[in-house]
Structures are given as C-alpha cells and as structure tokens.
Amino acid sequence: MFVVGTPVFYVALLFLGLFLILKKFFKGTAFKVVGINFIVILFLIALFDSVAAMLFNKADPFRVSDNFYHHGLKAMANEKTSWKSDGVSFYQVYTNSLGFVDETDREVPLKKSGKRIMILGDSFMEGVGYPWPQTVPGILSERFKKQGIELLNAAVISYSPKIYYLKLKHFLEMGLEIDELYVFIDISDIIDEVVYDYFVPKEFSQSELKWQKLDNFFIKGSYIYRSTKTDYFAMQINPYHENAPIWGGLANFYGWKPRWTFDDEAMKLYGEKGIASAKKHIELIRELCEEKGIKLHIGVWPWEIQAHNKNGRKQYDIWKEYTDKYHIDFISLFDTFEAMSDEDISSIFIKNDIHWNDKGNAIVADYIWQHIVNNSEGKNETAQ
C-alpha cells in the first residue's frame, strides 16, 4: 500500500494525464517546466504522506470500521501485529469467518452444533499483546473444548456497552446461535460510551459500502487524509471524539479514562452521561438475551491504578447493584486484585500499559474458570 494508499498519488496521476494531453496544445517551455515541477512535487508529497502514515499510523490492517457496530475485525485474518511500541514484540492474530479473534482463521457456522458461549468486551478480552493461547478467551476456550463447548470471542479494542449491544443484535439478527453471553465491562467503557453517543448504525447502499472500503484504505495509507478527516470532519460530527478539545487532545484522552471512578471533575465532564448510557445499553442486552433465551453473565475488574489505590469501587458498585436487581451472574476481580501486594499487582500488567500480561491473563482466566465451576456446582458465584 506504499504510496498508492494516499489520495495525493491519484491526484498526481490525474495531473500527469492532463499534462500529457495539454502539452500537445501548449508547446512553450514555461508550460513544460511548470507542469513537470508541479507533478514531481505532487509525487514527492505522496511519497512523504505514505512514509508519515507508516511512521505515525498504529492501526492494523485487520481493524476495520463497520456501519452496524462502529468498528471490528476483518474476517479470516491471519496477520502479524505488535501491541507494544518496541516494534519487537510481535504476535499472530487470527480471526474466523465472523470476524472474531480465534485460534485460527476457521469457518464458523451461524448454527451451533453443541453448547456455544460468546464473550463481549474491549481490548482486555480481545487479548492485545499476546497470541490466542495466552489470552483470557484463549485459555478459557481450551478448557471449554474439553467439555464440548465452543467459545466465540467477539471482543475488540475500544468497545463499550453501546457497541456490545449493536454487535450482539447484528449477529443475532444474522442468525447466530449462542447459549450464554459473558459481557466484561471495563472502566474505560464509561468514557467510550460518550465517544460513541453520536454513532447511528445504518444499512449501507452498495456505493456507500464501496466508499467505506476506500475510506479505510486511505485512512491506513495516508497521514494527510487521516489527519484532515479527524481534525475537520470527525470532530465536527462528534464533539466528544477522542482527539476533541474537550479532552485536551488524544494524549490527554487516555488519562481521562479511569478518572470517573475517583475524580468529581471527570464524573461531571463525562461520567454521569457515560454511566447512564452504559446502563441503558446493558439493559438492552439483558432484554435481548431474555427474548432469545440466552443466559447473561457480567464481569468487572479494576485497572492497575485502582488496584493500587483501592479507589475504583464505583465500577463494582454500579454493576453489582444492577446484577443483584435482575439476578444476573456477576463476576468481579476487585477483591482478588486488591488483596495483592503492590509488587504482585504490578507484576500482572504489561509495563507502562493498562493491560494484563501473560501472567495476568492466566490469573484472570483461572478466576473466571473457577467461578464457572462453582456456578455449575451451585456454589456461591462471586465470593464478594
């Protein structure tokens, strides 16, 4: 996609074609000099635009926008990626025919042949940074297999309850059959609910679908296109866009994510709105599951900063109250994380990152599995 991924390249080709036609009518030296220099400058801009996109664009080619549920993963992907910024820690990502992260790029029928479980969540449950066997869903999937149960992982980075609901609704309408749904709600989901408030799913025409593919192509291949779209279009449509002035830019946006759990300013800025939206969409999920006969489970955990400071319980309280009200199975890792020493807490997260490392993934998967085992034996489910 080098050079050809930028629209400047095609503008340069257009002017080159015009120049070749017009030079037959304009024989002067000045026209040729100006024309050739202008076209060379356009091709140089295209070259530098492509280089800038490669240097500053961290988006993976298998990550795509979606008109039904905002964004997802390309189906049947088999690609190498790196979550860390060291450019060394690569791992292989596979997606199945549904566009869900999986053990391999396999075909998944909509109709189930046995018991089937689906996971919805964000980057923690997508398993960023590690290959499938070292992620929470990957570890659980291997254990479920031994019981003849299929696990589907529909989690993707930067999802939130609104996107969980839209994605679930879309695939159920397609005819996907599942028996149980595990929704893992992250602390960052509250601010993401506000970011996605503007998004309205729609049925695209064939021309709109083609434009969406072209748009994705240029976003990944052109720094100029991506920056222009973000600065002059995305934020005009959505004032709460991740790079919007209300957050102080993209660099500060990520710092705001956990603050609603302990900061009154953050609660007023986005927390109250985000919580209301999250509750609304989890309620829609609950109603949809009830309608389809799907057993719902909800899980939460603290970030590293909350586990150290013991100040993230607002997340726990909201969803504990909700699950108690509707008698929904509730999985919480708050007590588990908060009982650890500071050294042990830090040891289960990727350094300078909010996500679990392979050790953290194993601990979380073991806890969830034990919860499932206890639940199947009729024991206390949450130990809270």
Task: Give the tens place of pLDDT for each residue, 235-260.
Answer: 457 889 888 889 998 889 999 999 99
pLDDT band at 56; cut points 50, 70, 90: confident
Q: What is the spatial distance between Cα 256 and Cα 108, in angstroms, rounded to a whole number?
A: 38
Q: What is the spatial distance between Cα 140 and Cα 147, in angstroms, rounded to a whole number?
A: 11
pLDDT band at 381; cut points 50, 70, 90: very low
Instruction: Kindly tell me if the per-residue pLDDT of 170 is higher than 80.
Output: yes
Ranges of each domain in the chain:
7-56, 63-199+238-376
Task: Give the torsion through C-alpha atoms of 24, 28, 33, 38, to 10 deg.
Answer: -50
Instruction: Kindly tell me if the per-residue pLDDT of 58 is higher than 90.
Output: no
Average pLDDT over residues 37-59: 84
CB of 148 within 8 A of CB of 114?
Answer: yes
DSSP SS3 for 91: strand
Closest listed residue to residue 203, CA positions, set 242, 173, 175: 173
Specify the higher pLDDT residue, 315 or 232: 315
Query: Residue type at 114?
Result: G
Range in 222-231, 261-270, 311-320, 335-344 the model is least confident about: 222-231
What are the two backbone dihedrals, phi and then psi, of residue 168, each rounded to the nearest 5 degrees? -60, -50
Asked if the 63-199+238-376 domain carries CATH number 3.40.50.1110, the reply is yes
CB of 356 within 8 A of CB of 349?
Answer: yes
327 half-sphere exposure, CB direction, 13 A CA radius: 1
Instruction: Kindly tell me if the per-residue pLDDT of 188 is higher than 60.
Output: yes
Matching residue, tokens 């946006």: 253
Instruction: Kindly tell me if the per-residue pLDDT of 168 is higher than 80.
Output: yes
Percent share of the chain, pLDDT over 90: 70
Query: Quick one: angle between helices 161-174 and 272-292, nearest 10?
Result: 20
Write down the number of H helices and E strands in the chain.
17, 10
